[in-house]
Amino acid sequence: MLSPCRQAVLSAFRRHNCRLFSATQGREAKKGLVLGIYEKEKNGESARFTEAGAAFDSYLSGKLSQMLSISGPPVKKGKSRVFYGLHEDFPSVVVVGLGNDSAGVCGKENWDSCKENIRAAVSSGCRVLQDLEVPVVEVDPCGDGQAAAEGALLGLFDYDDLKSNKKFKVTTRLHGSTELAAWEKGVVYGEGQNLARWLMEAPANHITPTVFADTIEHKLAPYSDRVIIHKRPKPWIEAQQMGAFLSVSKGSDEPPVFLEIHYNGNPDNSKAPLVLVGKGITFDSGGISLKPPSGMDAMRADMGGAATVCSAIVTAAALRLPVNIVGLAPLCENMPSGNANKPGDVVKAKNGKTIQVDNTDAEGRLILADALCYAHSFQPRAVVNAATLTGAMDVALGSAAAGVFTNSDWLWGQLHKASVITGDRVWRMPLFQHYSRQVTDSQLADLNNIGKYSRSGGACTAAAFLREFVTADHWAHLDIAGVMSNKDEVPYLRKGMSGRPTRTLVEFAAGLACET
């Protein structure tokens, strides 16, 4: 309970704030400021500002500290508090809680807690100012300019392209100049994930296979000196004998596209390229094995693998990463029609293996099978595929992490290291022969697309199926079905499609570029 004197001071402060806020409403080019503050230490040390926050408070002769002390309890981690009229250049100042300033890499959580705290806090502050319709926001780097920029860009994104009432648009800038390079890098990382979110969120009648490929081509156009794009049409796919891919696409009136991207970030490098492969089902009805109607609209994002892979390559090009990458995305719809796959059909993949299709809703592994066969033609340094492949992955890990199935300890280490930095975690899953035997025991063909026990270990049997089309020593399959969307689990992402794990793929590629 506040004392009468303290209550009177607080009431006067609030009235003062309201008057100043009202007075600034008519000013042009309003700017807001987001500043970080660390929580009180257990040893009794009081809460303290970041370097930028302390400088701002010092400029105001301690007025911000004074206002904080009378405005309520300390600002908790990830929360914010707004003040008005303290500075003529910044009519609105938001103080955001960063948690403990001794936070770092947490072995239990498998991420860098400091970076995650910054992303969440900055996101919270930027959203407060967006709600106040502040058009320009300067952001305290909070000791990590990249994480701050990621929090700002990711936190403000909202897919409202098709709405009449859109979110207020906010421009974010770095406050100060000490972390400019890191901030700019974070902006590119954030924009990359937001591109994947945009692709995944857009309706399926707006993002067809052809439109998807055209969109990526447009995004890569500024980097044409380092990028070559092939939008392979159906005749090329037929010539490549990609029978599994074609069998899925034939149920739709939309023509399939096999998108092939070559990013030559280091043309003088004699090392083989990294090959990234993404599942590109732009809408998944389940085919003849029709999905239930509840939630089917979310299957517009079943091309999340292709979205994250292609967005990662766009980001790598924007960053000019000195690494060579080949991106492959088989793009089509999975629809029911008189031409569609029927349960029990047998199709032949590019490598000659026959597949019994007992469930047409297990189509992602069919299109990836042919793409993985083709990936080996580039003599890759490593092959990484990403796919919203199985609901079983969501059951296993939920939205906490993407599941990784890999035949390479080295590759697992690289992916895990990248995910600790980005906070977009991965978790290793088993590739036992136990699962392989379930998909190779097929009545009519070499392989069965769902295995003997369709309800048991579904994510693992799907990975085992893909392994039948891999000969590379370093291959990893990322099942991203569980991280496809966000409700409220990741505080710096709004509800909707997440675009995960785009930043982890970028960080992974950047790590390979640094390897000798």
List, for residues 43-87, the tens digit of each pLDDT value: 556 779 999 999 999 999 999 999 999 998 899 999 999 999 999
Q: What is the mean pLDDT of residues 345-368?
A: 98
User: pLDDT tens digit string along 228-278?
Assistant: 999 999 999 999 999 999 999 999 999 999 999 999 999 887 789 999 999
Q: What is the mean pLDDT of residues 303-310?
A: 98
Of 15-19, 158-162, 358-362, 401-405, the least confident: 15-19
- The answer to whether residue 319 scores a pLDDT higher than 70 is yes
CA–CA distance, 308 with 104 (Å, rounded to integer): 27
pLDDT at 64: 96
- The answer to whether residue 215 scores a pLDDT higher than 50 is yes
CA–CA distance, 340 with 366 (Å, rounded to integer): 14
pLDDT band at 149 (very low <50, low <70, confident <90, very high): very high
Question: Exposed, middle or buried by CB within 10 Å (0-12, 13-18, 19+), for 37?
Answer: buried
- The answer to whether residue 131 scores a pLDDT higher than 90 is yes
- The answer to whether residue 4 scores a pLDDT higher than 80 is no
CB 279 within 8 Å of CB 368: yes
- Tokens of residue 451, six digits: 């295995």
- From the candidates 31, 365, 381, 467, give the one annotated as an active-site residue: 365
Structure letter (DSSP) for residue 74? P
Give CA 90 to chain center in angstroms: 32
- From the candidates 63, 173, 234, 291, give the one annotated as an active-site residue: 291
CA–CA distance, 504 with 312 (Å, rounded to integer): 9
Q: What is the mean pLDDT of residues 411-438?
A: 98
Q: What's the sign of the alpha-carbon dihedral 339, 341, 346, 350? A: positive
pLDDT band at 452 (very low <50, low <70, confident <90, very high): confident
| Strands annotated E in 98-183 | 105-106, 111-112, 136-139, 171-174
pLDDT at 29: 58
Angle, alpha carbons 134-138-140 (nearest 5°) = 135
Question: How high is the mean pLDDT of the chain?
Answer: 93
CA–CA distance, 141 with 148 (Å, rounded to integer): 5
Residues ≥6 apart with Cβ < 8 Å to 140: 33, 34, 35, 36, 50, 52, 53, 122, 148, 175, 176
- The answer to whether residue 12 scores a pLDDT higher than 70 is no
Q: Which fold has domain 192-514?
A: Aminopeptidase (3.40.630)
Domain ranges of the chain: 27-178, 192-514
- The answer to whether residue 175 scores a pLDDT higher than 50 is yes
Would 27-178 and 192-514 be classified into the same CATH topology? Answer: no
pLDDT at 42: 62
Burial profile 193-224: b = 16 or more Cβ within 10 angstroms, e = fewer: bbbbbbbbbbebeebbbbbbbebbbebbeebe
pLDDT at 459: 97
CA–CA distance, 115 with 143 (Å, rounded to integer): 9
- The answer to whether residue 23 scores a pLDDT higher than 60 is no
CA–CA distance, 32 with 444 (Å, rounded to integer): 66
User: pLDDT tens digit string along 113-128?
Assistant: 999 999 999 999 999 9
- The model's pTM is 0.93
CA–CA distance, 497 with 483 (Å, rounded to integer): 9
CA–CA distance, 265 with 314 (Å, rounded to integer): 12
Our answer to whether residue 365 is catalytic in this structure is: yes
pLDDT at 17: 47
Our answer to whether residue 348 is catalytic in this structure is: no
Give CA 178 to chain center in angstroms: 27
pLDDT at 18: 44
Q: What's the sign of the alpha-carbon dihedral 377, 379, 385, 390? A: positive
DSSP characters over 176-219: SSTTHHHHHHHHHHHHHHHHHHHHHHS-TTTS-HHHHHHHHHHH
Architecture (CATH level 2) of domain 27-178: 3-Layer(aba) Sandwich (3.40)
- Tokens of residue 442, six digits: 């097929």
- Scanning the structure block, which residue is given the tokens 């405005």? 71
- Tokens of residue 215, six digits: 């969109």
Angle, alpha carbons 351-355-357 (nearest 5°) = 145
- The answer to whether residue 21 scores a pLDDT higher than 50 is no
Q: What's the sign of the alpha-carbon dihedral 373, 375, 378, 384? A: negative
CA–CA distance, 289 with 493 (Å, rounded to integer): 33
Question: HSE-up of 2 (CA within 13 Å, CB side)?
Answer: 13
Burial profile 236-253: b = 16 or more Cβ within 10 angstroms, e = fewer: ebeebbbbbbbbbbbbbe
CB 385 within 8 Å of CB 478: yes
| End-to-end Cα, the chain, rounded Å | 62
Q: What's the sign of the alpha-carbon dihedral 155, 159, 161, 164? A: negative
CA–CA distance, 280 with 485 (Å, rounded to integer): 16
CB 33 within 8 Å of CB 138: yes
pLDDT at 150: 98
User: pLDDT tens digit string along 464-514?
Assistant: 999 999 999 999 999 999 999 999 999 999 999 999 999 999 999 999 988
